[in-house]
Chain A
């Protein structure tokens, strides 16, 4: 019983990391229709930015801010500078995905070149672990869950209670109609790049805080879990992404706790496969919807 409880607790911690990334991914994907495979690379950029800040003696909180800013800026630059160039030439979703995969290679191996292919240790100040019955968590892990929760609540509030959020949701639902209604879709796309990029950078920082090291493959190895969660939760739905992240995080950690540590990550993907087989409507979308909406 104790094993299960602590496995679930670790699962929730992992889920928080996945969820932060998956929320950004799903917003980006839902609004622009770009399945951005360079997202993992941009997460790593955020992670390295935070590493630079903290290795210069600032606290991990500054690392979070700088990581988020780095993610937002890089995402905006590639979104406005690169992706829209292809969109204007009429690239469809698949070609765009291949472009993001190529960009992912550029970012990943560029970081490998810059980081001299080293893995850097990243530790934040540790204090006494917190015990809740059989569950033992470090304060850092609790903070990670807190950050994830706060971001989810904040994002939902932004989407549901503000006018900008309403515009975002309108654009995700029907870009042409949103434009016809006078929503400035170009600005909304810029906002989407910034918002999703910030979440991406934050996720990168939180990920390296959790795994206590940063290397050029950090984001890339984590990206499949993020994509799986975003697809499972439904494109454009932060709530769905969070639920899917919880499911995948808990399954991964429970499998790991019961001896299958070799297969723990594969089990997380197994969830996606099972869903594909049993509930294909979760990922089946209209064929017609292959237009990119980058404005």
Chain B
């Protein structure tokens, strides 16, 4: 029984962390149309910073791992630093990569950023211990006197506190004038610029806010699993979260939660229970194949996701300034059939 409880609490923790990732990407792409295929880099930045600032000093040649920012800061500070690291890195990357350009160019450049970061961190052992990564990150909530199983649930609760706070905050943000400005920018960039919105600043803002959330999710993740290495943040991980928000429904936070539940949690966990066949590792490879197929199928069959973005209620003046809302203003499926 306790094995199941342990397993389910693990799933709940991953679910919470993936919700944070999904919210971050949905804010950036679903609301603002900013393509962040480097998402995982900002999560990794948070994870590394949280790990390095809680692991304690790097004791020189005797130590088996080397890292910068080595310090042993008390409980909530590493997490705060992780959040800030994600935001700061997003600010730096955003400064050169958020220029006005076609979305696919932007996506490709973000993907390149993701691969450069991975290569540099893997190759340079002095940064964060290279390909072996950091391990032995202490449990942040260990001051609470509970057993290991109860600790799992305490941590799950801790993650969900952040989920709820971030969920409410981001939903409030996206309903605010700022959020409407983001949607305007997404749907009609030129028109949004013409009514006086500063497109460059808006993009940078949403990129940094998303980076903060990504850094937070990375910090929470590493403080749970206790280790972090380049194997954990390939570009494919970003793709999983993208698949989740596309499946669930872009621009709809309930859709994001649903998508995260379906794709990274249920779908990727169910495969753990399949009988292993073939050589070891075959099932893992096929899992990625199916994720790719799932995304392609979703875009073909239900491009707006299971819970599509709600249409904005028409205001005075009748017609909306744009015909179809949503980041996928397409799908003229068959003539004569109104676009749902």
Query: Which residues does A use to contact B, with CB under 8 Å?
Result: 35, 37, 82, 85-86, 89-99, 101-106, 108-110, 112-113, 116-117, 221, 224, 227-228, 231, 262-263, 265-266, 269, 272-273, 276-277, 280, 283-285, 287, 289-290
Query: Which residues does B use to contact A, with CB under 8 Å?
Result: 35, 37, 96-97, 99-105, 107-109, 111-112, 115-116, 119-120, 123-124, 189-190, 236, 239, 242-243, 246, 278-279, 281-282, 285-289, 291-293, 295-296, 299-300, 303, 328-333
Please judge, given known A-B contacts A90-B331, A92-B330, A98-B242, whether A287 and B111 are in contact too, CB under 8 Å. Answer: no
Contact B102 A287 (CB under 8 A): yes
Q: Which of A98, A272, A284, A289 contacts B299 (CB 8 A)?
A: A98
Residues of A within 8 A of B35 (CB): 94
Please judge, given known A-B contacts A82-B296, A102-B296, whether A93 and B103 are in contact too, CB under 8 Å. Answer: yes
Contact B292 A285 (CB under 8 A): no
Contact B96 A273 (CB under 8 A): yes
> Would you mind naming 23 contact pairs between A and B with Cβ atoms under 8 Å apart?
A35-B105, A90-B331, A90-B332, A92-B330, A93-B104, A94-B103, A96-B104, A97-B104, A98-B299, A102-B291, A102-B295, A105-B239, A109-B286, A110-B285, A117-B281, A221-B115, A224-B116, A227-B112, A231-B109, A265-B119, A269-B116, A280-B101, A285-B101
CB distance from B78 to the nearest CB of A (A): 27
Contact B299 A266 (CB under 8 A): no
CB distance from B281 to the nearest CB of A (A): 5
Q: Which of A105, A285, A289 contacts B289 (CB 8 A)?
A: A105
CB distance from A196 to the nearest CB of B (A): 16
Contact A113 B285 (CB under 8 A): yes
Among B116, B281, B328, find the residue whose CB has the most chain A CB atoms closer than 10 A: B116
Query: Complex: how many Å from CA A102 to CA B96?
Result: 26
Contact B291 A105 (CB under 8 A): yes
CB distance from B319 to the nearest CB of A (A): 21
Give the residue name and chain of the B residue nearest to A29 (CB).
B104
CB distance from B308 to the nearest CB of A (A): 15
Query: Complex: how many Å from CA A273 to CA B92?
Result: 12
Contact B111 A224 (CB under 8 A): yes
Contact B295 A228 (CB under 8 A): no
Contact B108 A262 (CB under 8 A): no
Query: Complex: how many Å from CA A117 to CA B288?
Result: 13
| Other contacts beyond A82-B296, A102-B292, A265-B119: 9, CB < 8 A | A95-B299, A102-B291, A105-B289, A109-B292, A231-B105, A262-B123, A272-B112, A284-B101, A285-B101
CB distance from B150 to the nearest CB of A (A): 38
Please judge, given known A-B contacts A116-B279, A263-B123, A276-B99, whether A89 and B292 are in contact too, CB under 8 Å. Answer: no
CB distance from B339 to the nearest CB of A (A): 10
Query: Complex: how many Å from CA A54 to CA B276?
Result: 33
CB distance from B67 to the nearest CB of A (A): 16
Contact A85 B300 (CB under 8 A): yes
Query: Complex: how many Å from CA A174 to CA B100?
Result: 22
Chain A to chain B: the 4 pairs with minimum beta-carbon distance, closest first: A105-B292, A90-B330, A109-B288, A94-B103
Query: Complex: how many Å from CA A101 to CA B241?
Result: 13
Please judge, given known A-B contacts A99-B299, A276-B99, whether A113 and B286 are in contact too, CB under 8 Å. Answer: yes
Contact A262 B124 (CB under 8 A): yes
Query: Complex: how many Å from CA A289 to CA B101?
Result: 11
Please judge, given known A-B contacts A90-B330, A90-B332, A289-B102, whether A99 and B115 are in contact too, CB under 8 Å. Answer: no
Residues of B within 8 A of A110 (CB): 285, 289
Give the residue name and chain of the A residue nearest to B295 (CB).
A102
Please judge, given known A-B contacts A95-B303, A285-B101, whether A231 and B330 are in contact too, CB under 8 Å. Answer: no
Query: Complex: how many Å from CA A273 to CA B123?
Result: 20
Query: Complex: how many Å from CA A283 to CA B100?
Result: 9
Q: Which of B109, B119, B293, B329 contacts A266 (CB 8 A)?
A: B119
Please judge, given known A-B contacts A109-B286, A276-B109, whether A98 and B295 are in contact too, CB under 8 Å. Answer: yes
Residues of B within 8 A of A273 (CB): 96
Please judge, given known A-B contacts A85-B300, A86-B300, A103-B292, whether A97 and B107 are in contact too, CB under 8 Å. Answer: yes
Residues of B within 8 A of A287 (CB): 100, 102, 189-190
Contact B107 A109 (CB under 8 A): no
Residues of A within 8 A of B288 (CB): 105-106, 108-109, 112
